Structure 1
Amino acid sequence: MQQDSGRLDRRKIRIAARGAQERRRHTRVPLQLHGRFWSETLGEHACRLLDISPGGARVASRSTPPANARIILMISSIGRIEGTIVRVEGEEFSVRFNATSRKRDKLADTITWRFNKDRLGLEEDRAAVRKPGRGRARILLNDGVVIQANVLDVSVTGAAFECLERPRLGELLRVGEMTGCVARILDNGFAVVFDPPEAAKKSSEAA
């Protein structure tokens, strides 16, 4: 019976891991970036990215390709992505990316890093520009102390930092435009969970 229970637990873990990976692949984030696209019907035109996930994107352009057209997107700091038009609405169109699972995973890392870079005020790590999630951050603690830390990992809802200083668990802080609190103490640093957008806005107004 214990062996059956162990197998069930391992199966649940695998299912949960697959579910988390799928959610990561399809999480769409707002990201305003300029770029260009090419299609067989229209040739090359300027465009602006509105939001993106590892599975697709919504794009604005004065020239919109027809539904089902194959296009190639070139987006600043994201790179070259091939896809197919799945929806056209006015001067906006939606693209479904044609990419392997490995490419989608790499794209997820790039999107997450680019989404967080500006709002957290992260400094690019020039020695590791091909490793999204690496960089330097300026962290302002609630008592006014400033910490300079290396970014270990970053997501839409939180981040992990490497540094010698250890703030208290639950301590409030600010990273760039984002506010949050220390959620976990690590061997080499700490992890932060960010406030939801409305909470961050109210905190900024109160300050």
Structure 2
Amino acid sequence: MQDEPGRLDRRKIKIAARGSQERRRHARVPLQLHGRFWSEAIGENACRIIDISPGGARVLCRMPPREGTRIVLMIPSLGRIEGRIVRREGQECSVAFNTTARKRDKLADAITWRFNKDRLGLDEDRAAPRKPGRGRARILLSDGVVIQANVIDVSVTGAGFECLERPRVGERLRVGEMSGRVARILDNGFAVVFDPPEAKANDPEAA
């Protein structure tokens, strides 16, 4: 029995949507982290992460291994990650990670936290240094008022904050180096969507 054209179209849409979601999930972010890597051919060497995603990373090192070489990356705050060299150019190489789905999820959380921590000026919760969404943020509202809030969760494009204050939806604000606006009010705080890097807003005082 052949599939109907409409059913095929819906199936293609679902497949395309899953592919798009996976690409977003594995989008690399610029994250400068120093660490070390080990390979059977050349042993242990220092390296620096240039950008990274839960699926792979671009790495700078003095002696990049050959393509196809299996390596182990050891990056502080991200842990031990196994992978394989898929491309090499000069002193840069691209690594595809060999991880379980659970490990990728944990890695995605750790990468997101590290990517946002310094940009948002977050004070990390030392009791749970590797758990995303733990920390204190200093938020500058559009009227010049400064509030302190607990971070509920954080992503590349936004964050949720827990506090008693409730800015109005759409209000401009700044968190660390990032500007944005209040997207919605939560039961225990509010959610913020950040401005994209190429379209940073002016300081809240000028909004």
Instruction: Within 5 Å, give how 1:30-179 maps onto structure 2.
Output: 30-179=30-179
For 1:42-72, what per-residue CA distance to the aligned partner results, in whole angstroms no more than 9, with x for missing partners? 1111111000000000000111100000000
Q: Distance in 2 between matches of 1:159 and 1:102?
A: 23
Query: What secondary structure sits across from 2:202 in the alignment?
Result: helix
Give the letter aligned to residue 113 of structure 1.
W
In structure 2, list runs of 5 or more residues that go unmatched: 1-10
In structure 1, list runs of 5 or more residues that go unmatched: 1-10
Give the letter aligned to residue 163 of structure 2.
C
Q: Distance in 1 between matches of 2:140 and 2:20?
A: 31
Q: Distance in 2 between matches of 1:80 and 1:140?
A: 37
Contact 2:77 2:130 in 1 (8 A): no
Calculate percent identity across the aligned residue pairs. Answer: 79
Contact 2:34 2:47 in 1 (8 A): yes
Q: Distance in 2 between matches of 1:127 and 1:37?
A: 28
Give the letter aligned to residue 97 of structure 2.
F
Q: How far 1:27 moved relative to its partner? A: 1.5
Give the letter aligned to residue 64 of structure 1.
P
Give the letter aligned to residue 203 of structure 1.
N
Query: What secondary structure sits across from 1:115 in the alignment?
Result: helix
Give the letter aligned to residue 147 of structure 1.
I
Change (3 A) 1:124 1:15: farther
Q: How far 1:133 moved relative to its partner? A: 1.9
> TM-score normalized by structure 1?
0.87
Q: Distance in 2 between matches of 1:16 and 1:164?
A: 42
Query: Which one has a larger percent helix, Structure 1 or Structure 2?
Result: 1
Residue 186 of structure 1 corresponds to: 186
Q: How far 1:77 moved relative to its partner? A: 1.6
23-32 vs 166-175, which deviates more? 23-32
> TM-score normalized by structure 2?
0.87
Q: Distance in 2 between matches of 1:80 and 1:65?
A: 18
Q: CA RMSD in A?
A: 2.1
Q: How far 1:20 moved relative to its partner? A: 7.3
Q: How far 1:17 moved relative to its partner? A: 8.9
Contact 2:50 2:60 in 1 (8 A): yes
Q: Distance in 2 between matches of 1:111 and 1:195?
A: 20
Contact 1:25 1:105 in 2 (8 A): no
Query: What secondary structure sits across from 1:128 in the alignment?
Result: coil
